[in-house]
Structure 1
C-alpha cells in the first residue's frame, strides 16, 4: 500500500510541470479574455447581451452552426467510406488509402486553401475545364461563398474523422457479421443493420471531433469565403484587430471556448478515448 502511494506521488510530481505549463498557457489567457468580456468598454454583462440581440452576431452564429453541421456530415460520411476500405480492403487498397490519409498532414492548411482557390475560382482548373468541353457557358461560383468554405474545411477534416471510425471498425466482432450472413441477411442489410450500429461509437467520436475543429476554423473560411461567409473565428479577429471592439470579441471567444468544452466533455462521456486511437 505504501509503495502504491509512493508511485502515485512520484507520478503526480512528474506530471505537475506539464499541468502548470498548460495552466499558464491556456487557463491564464482564458481568464484574461473572460475579464475583458465583462470589463470592456465598461463593467457589466452588456457584451453578452449584445450576443443575444445583435442581428449581425446572430447571423454569424447561425452561419457557423450551419456550415459546421454540413461539414461534419460530409466529413464523417466520406471518412466512413475511406475507413471501410482502409480496414477491410485488399493490401494494395490499404496502402493507397493510408498514403492518401497521411499525406494531407504534411501540407499546411494555408497551402491547401490556396490550392482550392486555384481549383475552384472563376479562372480555376474546374471552371476552365467545364467551359472547354462545353458543359457550362459561364464560370460557376465555387468560391467566395459557403460552398467553397465547406469543400475546403471538409477536405482538411476528413483525415481526423478517419481514425476513430477505423478504430471502431477494427474492434468489430467478425463473428456477428458471419452470424447475420448465415441467417440469410443480404450484404446491404448487414451493413445498415449490423455493421453501422456496431461502429456507432466511432461515428459519434468522429462527428464531435470534426464539429469541434470546424467551430474554430479561421484560415480556410477567410480565404475560400472571401469575406462573404464570415464564421465565428473570423468575427472574433475582426472585432479584436479591426473594429476594435475587444469586449465583444472577448465575449464571443468565451462563448466559443465554453461550447467547445461542453462538446469535448460530451465526447469523453459518450466515447472511450482509447477507442479513438
Structure 2
C-alpha cells in the first residue's frame, strides 16, 4: 500500500482502474473471439457461413422481420415514453408519483413473469378480449397471441421505461425561459412545441430510439412465448441453430453480424448524441 501511495497520482488511478479492462477482456473479448473463430471454422475452415448469410432467403426473412419489429417497437415505445416524460415534466407532484410508479414498477417484475402475464391477458378468453366483448366492441375474440401483434405489445411494454429516462433527461435540460419568451412574442403553444421544444429533444429521441432498438435485437423470451413460433427473430434463430440443429457455425456468424450492427448503432449514438446529456 505504501508503494502505491508513493506513485504519481495518475498512476494510482490507473492501478485502481486496471480490474475493469481485465474483466472486459475475460468476459467479453475472449468469448467474442471464440464466436468469431467458430464462424469461420465450423463445420470447416472458410467463410461459407457468411456466404450463407448473404444468400439464404430464410435467414434474410428472419433478419428483415427482426429489423421490422425493432423499428415498430422503437417508434411505439418512443411515442409512449415521450408522452409520459412530458406529462411528468409539466404535471403536479401527485401525477408525477403516478408516472414514476408506472415506470419503476415493471423493473421489479422479471421479463418471464411479464411475458406470461401478457399471454394470460391477451389470449382468446383473457382479460382484454373479455372486456372488449363485455363493452360490445367485438363479437368474437381477437387473435392477440401467437402472432406479431402480441409480440409487439409485450415488447413495447418492456421497452417504454428504457426510452423514458433519456427523453426525460433531454427535456429537463430545456430552458423554460426560451419557451416563455416565444409565448410572449405571440407564438402559439403548438408552434412553441414544434419549433422550439421538439427540436431540442432530438438528441434524446435519437438516443432513446437507438437504445430501444439495440435492446430489441436481442429479445428471445417474448417472441418465443407470445409469437408461438410464427414470429421468429434473430436471437431465437441463433438458439435454434446452435442447440437444436447444432449448426454452430451459422449461429456464430449471425452473432457476429448482429454485433457489427449494434456497434454501428452505438457509433451513431456516440456521434450524434451527447451521452452525458442522455443520462443526465
Aligned-pair CA distance for 1:137: 2.4
2:8 & 2:205 partners in 1: Cα distance?
Answer: 40
**Offset, 1:130:** 2.1
Tell me what 1:151 maps to: 153
1:276 to 2:278 alignment: yes
Question: 1:34-65 CA deviation, whole Å, 9 max, x = no partner?
Answer: 10000001110010011111111000000001
TM-score (norm 2): 0.95
| 1:253 and 2:255 correspond | yes
Q: What are the superposed Cα offsets for residues 232-261 of structure 1, whole Å, 9 maximum, x if unpaired? A: 000000000001110000000010111111
User: Which of residues 3, 15, 25 in structure 1 aligns to 2:17?
Assistant: 15
Aligned pair count reads 274
**Alpha-carbon offset, residue 78 of structure 1:** 0.5
| 2:40 alignment partner, one of 38, 41, 56 | 38
Aligned-pair Cα RMSD in Å:
1.3
Aligned to 2:193: 191
- Indicate the SS of the match to 1:227: coil
Stretches of structure 1 lacking an aligned partner (at least 5 in a row) = none
Shift of 1:264: 1.1
SS at match of 1:42: coil
**Corresponding residue number in structure 2 for 1:129:** 131
Equivalent residue, structure 1, for 2:58: 56
The alpha carbon displacement at 1:265 in A equals 1.8
2:67 to 62, 65, 68: 65
The answer to which of 83-92 and 234-243 deviates more is 83-92
Q: Residue 139 of structure 1 aligns with which residue?
A: 141
Q: CA offset at residue 7 of structure 1?
A: 2.1
Aligned-partner Cα distance in 1 for 2:80–2:130:
26
Report the Cα offset of residue 128 of structure 1.
2.0
Shift of 1:93: 1.0
Describe the superposition over 1:74-102 as per-residue Cα deviations: whole angstroms up to 9, x where unpaired.
00111000001112211111111111111
Separation (CA, whole Å) in 2 of partners of 1:149 and 1:47? 29
Cα distance in 2 for partners of 1:145, 1:244 equals 27
TM-score of the superposition, structure 1-length normalised? 0.96
Structure 2 residue 109 is the aligned partner of structure 1 residue 113:
no
Tell me, in whole angstroms, the C-alpha distance in 2 between the residues paired with 1:85 and 1:135.
29
Q: Confirm whether residue 169 of structure 1 aligns to residue 171 of structure 2.
A: yes
Q: CA deviation at 1:131?
A: 2.5
